[in-house]
Amino acid sequence: MPSPAPETVAKSGGDVTVLTVDDQPVFQGAARDVIEATPGFTSAGEAGSGAEALAMLEERRPELVLVDVRMPDMDGIELTRRIKRAHPELVVVLISIEEASNLPATASSSGAEALVCKQDFGPDMLRGLWQVHGQ
Written as tens digits, the pLDDT of the chain (135 aa) is: 333 444 455 555 589 999 999 999 999 999 999 999 999 999 999 999 999 999 999 899 999 999 999 898 899 999 999 999 999 999 999 998 876 666 666 667 788 898 888 998 999 999 999 999 986
So what's the pLDDT on residue 12? 55
Residue 129 lies in a domain: yes
Domain count along the chain: 1
Residue 125 makes CB contacts below 8 A (sequence gap 6+) with 116
pTM for this predicted structure: 0.86
Residues 96, 69: contact at Cβ < 8 Å?
yes
Residue 1 lies in a domain: no
Give the C-alpha distances (Å, rounded to integers) separating 76 from 11, 26, 36, 108, 119. Answer: 25, 17, 23, 12, 18
Domain that holds residue 107: 6-133
| Identity at 122, one-letter amino acid code | G
The domain that holds 52 is classified in CATH as 3.40.50.2300
Residue 59 lies in a domain: yes
Residue 113 lies in a domain: yes
Residue 43 lies in a domain: yes
